[in-house]
A and B are shown apart, each in its own frame.
Chain A
């Protein structure tokens, strides 16, 4: 008994940053009772994250299991935790919207905590609690949007999310029945038992919902369109990347690719995800909706690197994830700045570029990064992805991967077509040449974000040093 307690205490010290973050979110709620000043709320939110950064210890290269194997940590987990924290910290620079009181920042913290535990969970129960924490916080935070149809967006999200959670839980229970354990690291290969396979697929379905892979992507456009921008940016990045990290863990732990049909099936889903994302984006008239379809396609790209075996894709995935986070941060910031001035639909942007050349240029750079054109980091992301796919193809001669490669290449042309509608409207159309008055700090932050995308391309050493320190097993 005493030994066990000591063990738990020892383990707690290793994850003190995670524990303190939970604690500070509670304190945050209490402070929120006493004040409504947004400045105080924002500063406390940032302070909680900074405390996390201070306490956080870079994990060792090898995987360590804590709390009787419930919890796992290794350098890749620590890297993503840091990414989540830093990313979320930058969200305070977004222009504030109407309903952003204490609950808004509390929910943001809750999503971050949920995501952190999601990627650390080795036990499926812990995982389920973590994913539900992020999901419920996400449903709520989306409903804080100020759009006219925000109810539709958040309700859709709730219904689809709730259903998929139920399905996933059902799948997990079947897995438990066969494996007699919920620890993913102790799972064994179970062969072609039909009911087991059914459980496996349903469990994955819930996960694919989180990362918006076809056919579980339908909630994305309405949800993103209606949510408050900072929250959308968070939901589109942190839980999604966390979901992908869990996917890496599961695919490996459940020996999913031992089944012959598994890789073709996932490849097919990815192909559909990418195609539907870019094709549907073509017809959108609302900028945020267009970007959300683009985000669906990005999910496809991210996942494309995870279905490659033997570490062919993991390095590229890390790069893609970081760059994706950075471009999400920038694009939703931009959208948010314009949304505040009631510039929402594509046609509202017409002619804005002539009087706001700087903002137009910044917007263009960010969109280039999303398309994947040089000279932005987006190009690196796409380049490494293509390298991974082609590199694996040259080894395996797998025609599915080649098809995926071709689809990915073509999707770039299509994405050029829709992403460039914004600069096209801003610069090439001249219906309302008005000057939008945007305050200097917001302009500055947006410019810095887009400069990061450019500088990261020209001087890649910094990111290389960070990413090289991660072990990828």
Chain B
């Protein structure tokens, strides 16, 4: 079994072990979960060390490393031809980092669930299933496999929020489920269309030889699709004249994918599930939600929407950039209006994810690098921020900004970390948040002159987003941490105490990485430069080639 399969399937083993241990051995479950996620993390580190960043590629088939491929479904559908789906995994410069990030945050998530006492068996079982599907989603190179992981993730998440969440947990979990499923159906439609339009030449030849009759094998293989092996006249093939309401089918497909993945990302106006889900979710689940699950939306845009529909990406570059801009500004404004610290961070996530979409939409090298970097850095920062809120909530059971002030006096260490991650999130130079946003803005402003897809004003207005984020973070910090020490309820004063060792263990590595990647962003940029170069070239050349004539 190769490295990637191990990372995906170790959790299954652990989940089996958890199922076998009787309920009464409660303390064991978290150890099994910790062991399983740590194993994933170690493997992820081995993966990134052995990953060859210099590998240059001229086609999608060459860009993926650690590839593993096995036939999964090969099915005769009569007149429709054959359907082929594979167990096909591999990583490139984009996904390898997301795997590492996920593995790290999954370990931190287990640590932050250490104090879960209710129904621990179920909790850690679902958690481990989640850890498998998340990684699976990032490494899948087959659309069906990707979709399976993408969908299956909803279920553990639904129960984790719905059973272990806060007061309005059922509402939040159902809203989360419905929104995401709704989005994923848009994605499914496109996937079905894509596989019907693409065929695998080798398999077709093989089956034709076996049966003696001409056979066509339609495939879900992402690499085959990315390399553009479209059939003539199929529904999503370029230049076929299929259109609905005057818009070519491929543009519809691109828009559907953008809608589907935007719900996951999330982008205004389909973002409303996120604040609810975050507020109600237990801390560890918030960490995963903000740190990794949102990135799956971003990753889907990179891997599927943009890479497979470069023509749509170029055609709709400006509107999508504006959508990103709206998210940045609207998310930031909303964050400023929140009285609940967790809600504030949730909205700030929406604002920061707007940068991801904006950077991607520009289709410039800076923008795409920045967008990718922003995903990684936001994964680190936002999960740390949710941990910060969790620390306060653990002690007081409250998250209202107005209910506390002067925390700096009693909790110096806590205040230090809060300040660190607030500043990182608002984009202070020297920390990772700055690098991502800077590159995105460079791309957005520069796009008009380099490829002419996005007007410069979009980038200029987006700068406002950074100012807004500075405003809400500093204001929240000033209200909660500065001034005279005061808490709304006297009993909180006894409960409140500074960071415990377990919390140090979670926050220190995140803080160190935020600063390290802020100072040396090249560590990440170098490893993905080849992929980003190929990705950008591919989109710009194929985008012109596929565009309706």
Interface residues of A (CB under 8 A from B): 310-312, 314-316, 354, 357, 364, 368, 373-375, 379-380, 383-384, 386-388, 390-391, 393-394, 397, 402, 409-410, 412-413, 416-417, 420, 424, 427-429, 460, 464, 468, 472
Decide if B163 touches A374 in the complex (CB within 8 Å): no
Looking across the interface, which residue of chain A has its beta carbon closest to that of B77?
A315
Chain B contacts for A368, CB-based, 8 A: 155
Residue B419 is within 8 A (CB to CB) of chain A in the complex: no
Q: Mark B105-133, 1 if CB is under 8 A from A, else 0.
A: 00000000000000101100000000000
Residue B456 is within 8 A (CB to CB) of chain A in the complex: no
Having A310-B79, A311-B78, A393-B235, one finds 15 other A-B pairs with CB under 8 Å, namely A312-B78, A312-B79, A316-B77, A373-B151, A373-B181, A386-B192, A387-B83, A394-B197, A394-B242, A402-B244, A412-B181, A420-B177, A428-B169, A428-B173, A464-B74
From B59-67, B182-190, B382-390, B498-506, the one touching the partner chain is B182-190
Chain B contacts for A391, CB-based, 8 A: 77, 79-80, 196
CA distance A417 to B80 in the complex (A): 32
B residues 149-165 touching A (CB-CB < 8 Å): 151-152, 155, 159, 162-163
Decide if B151 touches A390 in the complex (CB within 8 Å): no
Q: Determine the main DSSP class of B at the interface with A.
A: helix
Interface centre among B121, B169, B181, B234 (most CB of A within 10 A): B181
Interface residues of B (CB under 8 A from A): 72-80, 83, 119, 121-122, 144, 147-148, 151-152, 155, 159, 162-163, 169-170, 173-174, 177-178, 181-182, 185, 188-189, 192-193, 195-197, 234-235, 242, 244
Decide if B188 touches A413 in the complex (CB within 8 Å): no
CA distance A417 to B182 in the complex (A): 11
| A417 interface neighbour in B83, B159, B178, B193, Cβ under 8 Å | B178
CA distance A429 to B174 in the complex (A): 13
Chain A contacts for B152, CB-based, 8 A: 373-375
Decide if B77 touches A387 in the complex (CB within 8 Å): yes
**A–B Cβ pairs within 8 angstroms, 6 of them:** A311-B79, A357-B121, A386-B188, A388-B80, A394-B193, A413-B182
Decide if B151 touches A394 in the complex (CB within 8 Å): no
CA distance A108 to B358 in the complex (A): 63
Q: Which 10 A-B pairs have the closest CB atoms?
A: A394-B235, A374-B148, A311-B78, A315-B78, A391-B80, A311-B79, A428-B162, A315-B77, A386-B192, A428-B170
CA distance A410 to B159 in the complex (A): 23
Taking the closest CB of chain A, its distance from the CB of B455, in whole angstroms, is 35
Looking across the interface, which residue of chain B has its beta carbon closest to that of A430?
B163
| B189 interface neighbour in A357, A409, A420, Cβ under 8 Å | A409
Decide if B185 touches A390 in the complex (CB within 8 Å): no
Decide if A374 touches B80 in the complex (CB within 8 Å): no
CA distance A412 to B178 in the complex (A): 11
Decide if A357 touches B192 in the complex (CB within 8 Å): no
Decide if A354 touches B192 in the complex (CB within 8 Å): no
Chain A contacts for B196, CB-based, 8 A: 387, 390-391, 394
Looking across the interface, which residue of chain A has its beta carbon closest to that of B242?
A394
Answer whether A387 and B72 are a contact pair too, CB < 8 Å, given A394-B234, A394-B235, A416-B178.
no
Interface centre among A354, A357, A383, A394 (most CB of B within 10 A): A394
Chain B contacts for A409, CB-based, 8 A: 185, 188-189
Answer whether A315 and B162 are a contact pair too, CB < 8 Å, given A387-B196, A417-B178.
no
CA distance A424 to B234 in the complex (A): 42
Decide if B193 touches A390 in the complex (CB within 8 Å): yes
CA distance A354 to B193 in the complex (A): 41
CA distance A379 to B144 in the complex (A): 11
CA distance A424 to B170 in the complex (A): 8
Chain B contacts for A390, CB-based, 8 A: 189, 192-193, 196, 235
Decide if B83 touches A384 in the complex (CB within 8 Å): yes
Chain A contacts for B79, CB-based, 8 A: 310-312, 391
Chain A contacts for B244, CB-based, 8 A: 402
CA distance A428 to B175 in the complex (A): 14
Looking across the interface, which residue of chain B has its beta carbon closest to that of A421?
B174
CA distance A269 to B78 in the complex (A): 25
CA distance A387 to B196 in the complex (A): 7
Decide if B181 touches A416 in the complex (CB within 8 Å): yes
Looking across the interface, which residue of chain B has its beta carbon closest to that of A384?
B77
| A387 interface neighbour in B119, B162, B192, Cβ under 8 Å | B192
CA distance A380 to B75 in the complex (A): 11
Chain A contacts for B72, CB-based, 8 A: 460
Decide if A427 touches B159 in the complex (CB within 8 Å): yes
Decide if B73 touches A460 in the complex (CB within 8 Å): yes
Taking the closest CB of chain A, its distance from the CB of B224, in whole angstroms, is 17
CA distance A379 to B163 in the complex (A): 26
Decide if B185 touches A413 in the complex (CB within 8 Å): yes
Looking across the interface, which residue of chain B has its beta carbon closest to that of A406?
B189
Taking the closest CB of chain B, its distance from the CB of A57, in whole angstroms, is 24
CA distance A243 to B433 in the complex (A): 63
CA distance A364 to B122 in the complex (A): 14
CA distance A357 to B73 in the complex (A): 32
Decide if A468 touches B178 in the complex (CB within 8 Å): no
Taking the closest CB of chain A, its distance from the CB of B180, in whole angstroms, is 11
CA distance A269 to B169 in the complex (A): 39
Chain A contacts for B77, CB-based, 8 A: 315-316, 384, 387-388, 391
Decide if A387 touches B122 in the complex (CB within 8 Å): no
| A413 interface neighbour in B151, B178, B193, Cβ under 8 Å | B178
Chain B contacts for A374, CB-based, 8 A: 147-148, 151-152
Answer whether A472 and B178 are a contact pair too, CB < 8 Å, given A390-B193, A428-B169.
no
| A386 interface neighbour in B151, B169, B178, B189, Cβ under 8 Å | B189
CA distance A379 to B220 in the complex (A): 15
Chain B contacts for A316, CB-based, 8 A: 77, 80
Chain A contacts for B242, CB-based, 8 A: 394, 397
Answer whether A383 and B234 are a contact pair too, CB < 8 Å, given A427-B162, A427-B163, A428-B173.
no
CA distance A43 to B121 in the complex (A): 40
Interface centre among B79, B170, B188 (most CB of A within 10 A): B79
CA distance A282 to B155 in the complex (A): 20
Chain B contacts for A311, CB-based, 8 A: 78-79
Taking the closest CB of chain A, its distance from the CB of B156, in whole angstroms, is 11
CA distance A363 to B185 in the complex (A): 23
CA distance A307 to B349 in the complex (A): 48
Decide if B75 touches A464 in the complex (CB within 8 Å): yes
Chain B contacts for A402, CB-based, 8 A: 244
CA distance A390 to B549 in the complex (A): 24
Answer whether A412 and B192 are a contact pair too, CB < 8 Å, given A310-B79, A464-B73.
no
CA distance A429 to B169 in the complex (A): 11
Taking the closest CB of chain A, its distance from the CB of B300, in whole angstroms, is 16
